[in-house]
């Protein structure tokens, strides 16, 4: 009986210890030179938000979800965590960092530099993504 | 002879009008000159261009003002079934011999697209070009203006033709479009179709006459209304303007549902356009929408960016 209790306690400790091991999520930081870029659209217009929303729906929504929570229809097929745009950990990034990530991509996230050739359009997406903050 | 003079006059007025119009709008285009944000080194336009007036190169049977971004390759599959009013005998046209076009378009430089395609109707090979002359910009330019033209070569056996030039037909279209708001976009266009060879008949006096004119003018009106960010309703109407001795073509009326993704566009359509190539619809469309002579079809496009 003592053996069973001892083994159960060991197993419980092991489970607790393993639960603190990082789950393999890779952090993604934009290079400082890109992260420090400022948004050229000094005042965010409703047109910019509207254009950004249309582009987001076309290019981003299938993975990132309608409200940016990473719950799009394709999200479950991804090996890379699509993130949650409503959370402060995402929103605390600079506009330049978000611009860089959309533009360059990594792993499952494609580069949109060629598909969205006009930099102003990527800034419009950045502006729209800011509105997803909870 | 009288007809020939009329052709020449209309042809002259069309091209001189087009030339004057292009001169006027080319001045407007200069207002779109780009600058560079000194802080971020990001190109910033003096006036913000209005984007996504239409989501695709096509509005059912016609072209839209859209020219994709530089280095974009597009593959098109266009499909038209048979007319629906034959009923169950060919399952409402779905089992009738279809008209299919497979095409590729590429954008080598900003605002210019070139392409080619092969159509199952007469094995027509088309070479086409499209140039965005002016793009709608907020506070500066109220409309987008684009030119589209093609040359179609009927590639059937030479025994079907007297002269080599009889294979050729041409299509020129000037489109003007405006995105009214985030949901509604409208476009109008004037087009000139020219066929080197048209069917003829011998009249009571033994004189050979054309059944239709070699040149056909058509006025078009199209619209898009977005139901959601990725789904829209399309409407397309082509009104023939030229009066022919016989066989006047019927107007083309078409409706469609468009679904777009990042790299694809799907259009499911119902209309009475008998053909896919625009000059053939402008010249030969004998399907009368009011008599139920409409058909189903679809357009699919796939984009790659290099």
Contact: A54, B52; criterion CB under 8 Å:
yes
Residue B296 banded pLDDT, cuts 50, 70, 90: very high
Q: What mean pLDDT do residues B18-41 have?
A: 53
More confident: A12 or B225:
B225
pLDDT above 70: percentage of residues in chain B: 85
CB-defined contacts A:B, below 8 A: 63
Which residues in B lie closer than 8 A to residue A61 (C-beta atoms)?
229-230
Question: Closest Cα partner for B238 from B296, B174, B293, B281?
Answer: B281
Domain holding B272, by residue range, is: 2-305
Alpha-carbon gap, residue B215 to B3, rounded angstroms: 11
Beta strands in chain B (DSSP E): 34-36, 43-45, 58-59, 62-63, 72-83, 99-109, 112-119, 124-134, 144-154, 168-179, 184-195, 200-202, 208-210, 215-226, 231-240, 252-260, 264-271, 295-305
Q: Would you kindly state where each structural domain of chain A is located, as residue ranges?
A: 30-130
CA distance A75 to A109: 11
List the single residue in B with minimal CA-CA distance to A54. Answer: B229
Of the candidate ranges A83-87, B204-208, B220-224, the one whose mean pLDDT is the lowest: B204-208
Residue in A with minimal Cα distance to B36: A40
Looking at the structure of chain B, the number of domains it has is 1
Give the domain CATH number at B280.
Answer: 2.40.160.40
Q: Does domain A30-130 have CATH number 1.10.760.10?
A: yes
Closest CB from B40, B138, B182 relative to A38: B40
Q: Where is average pLDDT lowest: A7-16, A93-102, B198-207, B258-267?
A: A7-16
Which member of B48, B70, B229 has the closest CB to residue A54? B229
The model's pLDDT over A51-72, given as tens digits with 9 standing for 90+, comes to 999 999 999 999 999 999 999 9
In this predicted structure, the answer to whether residue B10 has a pLDDT above a threshold of 90 is: no
**B16 vs A131, higher pLDDT:** A131
Cα A85 from Cα A103, distance rounded (Å): 17
Is the pLDDT at B30 greater than 50, yes or no? Answer: no
For the cut 60, the answer to whether the pLDDT of residue B285 exceeds it is yes
Q: Identify from B107, B229, B263 which residue to disrupt to test chain A contact, counting A C-beta atoms within 10 A and taking the largest count.
A: B229
Q: Which residues does chain B have within 8 Å of residue A37's beta carbon, measured at their own beta carbons?
A: 40, 42
Residue B42 pLDDT grade (very low, low, confident, very high; cuts 50, 70, 90): low
Q: What's the confidence (pLDDT) of residue B124? A: 96
pLDDT at B183 over 70: yes
Kindly indicate the confidence band of residue B31, based on its pLDDT and cuts at 50, 70 and 90: very low
- What is the reported pLDDT for B13? 63
SS3 content of chain B, % helix, strand, coil (to 5): 20, 50, 35
Nearest CB partner across the interface for A59, out of B39, B42, B262: B262
Q: Flag if B39 and A38 touch (Cβ within 8 Å).
A: yes
What interface predicted TM-score (ipTM) does this complex get? 0.70
Report chain B residues whose CB lies below 8 A from the CB of A121. 51
> Which residues of A sit within 8 Å Cβ distance of B?
37-40, 47-48, 50-51, 53-55, 57-59, 61-62, 96, 114-121, 123
Provide the shortest C-alpha distance from residue A119 to chain B (in Å): 7
Q: Within 10 A of A98 (CB to CB), how many other CB atoms are there?
A: 24
CB atoms B51 and A51 under 8 Å: yes
Tell the residue number behind the tokens 């509207």, with chain if given. Answer: A50
């Amino acid at each position: 009986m003592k053996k069973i209790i001892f083994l159960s306690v060991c197993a419980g400790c092991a489970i607790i210890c393993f639960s603190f091991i990082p789950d393999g999520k890779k952090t993604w930081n934009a290079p400082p030179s890109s992260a420090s870029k400022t948004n050229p659209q000094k005042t965010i217009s409703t047109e910019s938000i509207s254009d950004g929303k249309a582009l987001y729906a076309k290019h981003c929504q299938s993975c990132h979800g309608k409200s940016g929570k990473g719950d799009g229809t394709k999200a479950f097929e991804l090996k890379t965590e699509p993130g949650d745009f409503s959370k402060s950990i995402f929103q605390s990034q600079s506009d330049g960092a978000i611009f860089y990530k959309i533009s360059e991509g990594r792993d499952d996230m494609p580069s949109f530099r060629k598909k969205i050739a006009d930099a102003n359009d990527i800034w419009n997406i950045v502006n729209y993504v800011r509105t997803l903050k909870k | 002879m009288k007809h020939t003079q009329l052709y020449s006059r209309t042809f002259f007025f069309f091209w001189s009008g087009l030339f004057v119009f292009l001169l006027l709008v080319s001045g407007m285009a200069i207002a779109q000159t780009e600058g560079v944000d000194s802080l971020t080194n990001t190109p910033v336009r003096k006036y913000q261009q209005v984007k996504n007036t239409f989501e695709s190169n096509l509005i059912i049977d016609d072209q839209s003002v859209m020219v994709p971004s530089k280095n974009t390759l597009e593959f098109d599959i266009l499909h038209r079934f048979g007319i629906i009013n034959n009923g169950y005998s060919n399952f409402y046209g779905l089992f009738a011999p279809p008209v299919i076009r497979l095409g590729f378009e590429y954008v080598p430089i900003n605002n210019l697209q070139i392409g080619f395609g092969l159509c199952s109707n007469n094995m027509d090979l088309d070479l086409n070009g499209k140039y965005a002359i002016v793009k709608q910009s907020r506070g500066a330019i109220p409309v987008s203006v684009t030119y589209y033209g093609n040359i179609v070569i009927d590639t059937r056996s030479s025994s079907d033709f007297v002269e080599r030039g009889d294979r050729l037909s041409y299509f020129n279209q000037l489109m003007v479009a405006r995105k009214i708001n985030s949901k509604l976009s409208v476009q109008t266009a004037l087009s000139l179709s020219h066929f080197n060879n048209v069917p003829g008949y011998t009249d009571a006096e033994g004189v050979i006459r054309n059944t239709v004119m070699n040149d056909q003018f058509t006025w078009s009106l199209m619209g898009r209304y977005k139901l959601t960010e990725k789904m829209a309703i399309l409407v397309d109407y082509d009104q023939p303007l030229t009066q022919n001795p016989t066989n006047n073509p019927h107007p083309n009326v078409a409706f469609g549902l468009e679904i777009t993704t990042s790299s694809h566009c799907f259009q499911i359509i119902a209309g009475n356009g008998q053909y896919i190539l625009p000059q053939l619809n402008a010249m030969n469309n004998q399907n009368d929408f009011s008599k139920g002579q409409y058909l189903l079809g679809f357009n699919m496009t796939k984009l790659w960016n290099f």
